[in-house]
Amino acid sequence: MAKIIFFQDVPFESFGLEFISGYLKSKGHSVDLIILNQEPRRFDPISYLIHEGPDVVGFSITTIDRQWSTALARRIKKEPKLQNILTVFGGAHPTAFPDMIKEDDGVDIVCVGEGEYALEELLSNIDKKIKDHQNILNLQVKKDGRIYTNPLRSLIADHDSMPFPDREIYYKYPLLRNMSTKKFFSRRGCPYQCTFCNNHYYQKLFSGLGKYVSYRSPEKIIEEIKSVRHKYGFKYVYLAAETLTTNHEWLTKFLELYKKEICVPFSCLSRANELNEDIVKKLADAGCYFTSFGLESGSERIRNQVYGRNMSNETLLKAGELLHKHKIKFLIHQIFVGPTETIDEAFETIAMDIKMKADSTWNTIFQPMLGTEAYNYCRNNKLLASENLVENVDSLYNVSTLKQPNVHEISNLQKLVYLCLKFPKLVPFIRKIIKWPCNPLFEFVSKWNMLISYRLRYRLGYWEMLKAYLGSNKRFG
Ligand code: B12
Ligand code: SF4
C-alpha cells in the first residue's frame, strides 16, 4: 500500500493531520510524521526519505510555515534519488492561497479544504500504478508545467462515521505523549465572521457543499476520550474547537455525559456572547477550570468596525463577571497594532483587561492573513508595509507588517501587557517607556506572559511548562 510521510517543524498536534492519518490508515495506507525539532541534531530529512522511500511527502501549513516547508520541498525535488516522490501541501495556507503551487517549484500538489478523501484517492491511484492525478476533487495538480484545478467536493457530513484521529503519529514523541493534558476536537467550522480569521471566506468557499459548521456527537467524543485515557492516560482534558459554547443544546448534552463518564478537569475556548449564567454554571459543574475567549481590542470601534466581532464592552464585562462568580479562570486573546489602531485605543484594551480582572492575556500583533477581509482592508487602505511581508512573516508576536503611525509604541505595549495587568498603577509609566527602543527586558516580560498563560491553560508544572515552551517556542499558541 502507498506510503505518506508528513513533515512538521515544531511539536504540536494538528487535528487535521490526525484526522487524515486515521482515515488513511483505515484504508490500509502507511502514514508517518516527522517533527523536525524533535529529531536528533544529525537528522537529515533527505537521507531519511531515501531510506524510507515514501510515495508522497505531505505538509500541513499555515502561512507562517510557508518558508521552511517549501524550502524542504525544493530540496526533495532536487535530489536525484527522490524523483518519484510527490510533494503535497494542505491546511489553512494552501486553502487561502492555492496559487502557491505556481510560485513554488517544490510543490507538486495543493489541497484546498478537507484532505481525507482527496489524499486517499491519490494514494489509491498510486497503489493502482495510475500516474494521472489531475482529476481528484479538492486538488490542484502540477504536471509538465501545467496546473490542473479541480472543483471542491462536499464537506464531510457524518464525522461520527470517520475513524478517530490517529494520535500514534504524534505520540511516538515523548514530549507530546507525556503531556498531562490531552486535546479533543468537537466540531469543524465556526459560524462567525470576524474579519481577521479564515472562517468568513471558508463559509463562502464551501457554500453549497454541505454544512459548514458540523459537530461530532457527544457520545463519539466521549468514546474517544475514554479510549485515549485507556491507551495513553491524562490528567486534564482540553476541548479544542474554535468555540465550545456556541450550541447550548449540544453542549448541555455533552457536559452531562462528560461529567458522568469522564469527570476530569477540562479547559476550552469560548466566546463572550455565548456565555450566560446557565451555561457558565453547567461548565463549572462539569469540571471546567479554564476558558479563553477573544476581546481582540478594548476599543469598540476596532473590535466591531474593523474586526467585525459584533460584541459590546458590556457583553464582555458580563462574561468576565460570570466566570469569576463560578470560579472558572479565564484568559483573554487580544490583538495589538490593528489596522488604524491609535495608542489611546490600544490602552482601551489594557483598561478592559484590568476591569475584567483577567487571569491572563494572550497578546499577538495583527497579521493580515491572505484571503481575509482584514487583509483586503489593509491592502485597499494602503496599510501594508510590503505585500510580500505577509507571506514571509514567521512570527505573530514580534513584527507588524503595517505601515501606520504608532506601530513601534503599540508593539512595545503588546509586550508589556503582563505588567499593566498585574500592576495597574504602572500604566502611566508604561505609556512613557513604550517610546523606548524594544529591548531584552520587554521581550522577557512578553515571553514570561506566554509561559504563565500556557501553564494556566494546561495546568502544567514548571518543568513541563519549560519543556513545552522550549520545544515550540516559535509557534506557541
Ligand atoms: C486548532 C488550531 C491551532 C492549533 C493546531 C494547529 C494546526 N495546524 O492544526 C494550534 C494551537 C497549535 C495552532 C497554532 C497556530 N495557529 Co491555528 N488554528 C487552529 C484552528 C482553530 C483549527 C484548526 C483545526 O484543527 N481544524 C480542524 C481540522 C480537521 O481542519 P484543518 O486543520 O483545516 O485540516 C483539514 C484541511 O485543512 C486539510 N489539510 C490539513 N493539512 C493537510 C495536509 C495535506 C498534505 C493535505 C492534502 C490536506 C491537509 O485536511 C484536514 C482534514 O480535513 C484554526 C481555525 C480553522 N478553522 O482552521 C486556526 C488557524 C489554522 N491557525 C492559524 C494561525 C495563524 C496559527 C498560528 C500561526 C498562531 C500562532 N500562535 O502563532 C499557529 C501556527 C501553528 C502551525 N504551524 O500550524 C490561522 C492560520 C491562518 C493562515 N492563513 O495561516 C487559522 C486559520 C486561524 C485564523 N486566524 O484564521 N492553531
Ligand atoms: S469566533 Fe474565533 S474562530 Fe470564529 S470567526 Fe471569529 S475569530 Fe474566527
The minimum-distance atom of ligand 2 relative to the CA of 309 is 6
Q: Give the residue, out of 195, 197, 205, with the most ligand 2 atoms within 8 A of its beta carbon, to mutate for a pocket test.
A: 197
Contact 236, 459 (CB under 8 A): yes
Question: How many alpha carbons fall within 13 Å on the CB side of residue 44?
Answer: 8
Task: Report CA-CA distances (Å) from 137 to 88, 171, 238.
Answer: 14, 31, 33
Spell out which residues line ligand 1, taking CB within 6 angstroms.
Answer: 12, 14-17, 19-20, 58-60, 62-65, 88-93, 95-96, 111, 114-116, 118-119, 188, 197-199, 240, 242, 369, 396, 475-477
Contact 333, 294 (CB under 8 A): yes
pLDDT in tens, 295-337: 999 999 999 999 999 999 999 999 999 999 999 999 999 999 9
* Regions in the chain scoring below 70 on pLDDT: 388-397, 468-477
Spell out which residues line ligand 2, taking CB within 6 angstroms.
Answer: 190, 192, 194, 197, 199, 242-243, 271
Q: Which fold has domain 181-459?
A: TIM Barrel (3.20.20)
Contact 417, 363 (CB under 8 A): yes
Cα of 432 to ligand 1 centre, how many Å? Answer: 37
Residue 42: other Cβ atoms inside 10 A: 6
Cα of 209 to ligand 1 centre, how many Å? Answer: 20
Give domain limits for the chain: 3-149, 181-459
Residues 6+ apart with CB under 8 A from 474: 9, 10, 64, 394, 395
The three-state secondary structure class of 148 is strand
Cα of 66 to ligand 1 centre, how many Å? Answer: 13
What CATH code is assigned to 3-149? 3.40.50.2300
Query: Residue 477's pLDDT is what?
Result: 39
Query: Looking at the CA of 191, which ligand is closest?
Result: 2
Query: Residue 64's pLDDT is what?
Result: 86
Helix (H) or strand (E) holding 323: helix 313-325
Query: Residue 91's pLDDT is what?
Result: 98
Residues 6+ apart with CB under 8 A from 436: 412
- Single-letter residue type at 241: A
Place of cell 477540562: 266
Cα of 433 to ligand 1 centre, how many Å? Answer: 36
Residue among 239, 103, 122, 226 nearest 184 (CA): 239
Bridge partners, 231 (sequence order)? none
Contact 117, 105 (CB under 8 A): no
Query: Looking at the CA of 176, which ligand is closest?
Result: 1
Handedness of CA 282, 288, 289, 292 (dihedral sign): negative
Place of cell 467524543: 221
Q: What are the two backbone dihedrals, phi and then psi, of residue 126, each rounded to the nearest 5 degrees?
A: -60, -40
- Single-letter residue type at 125: N
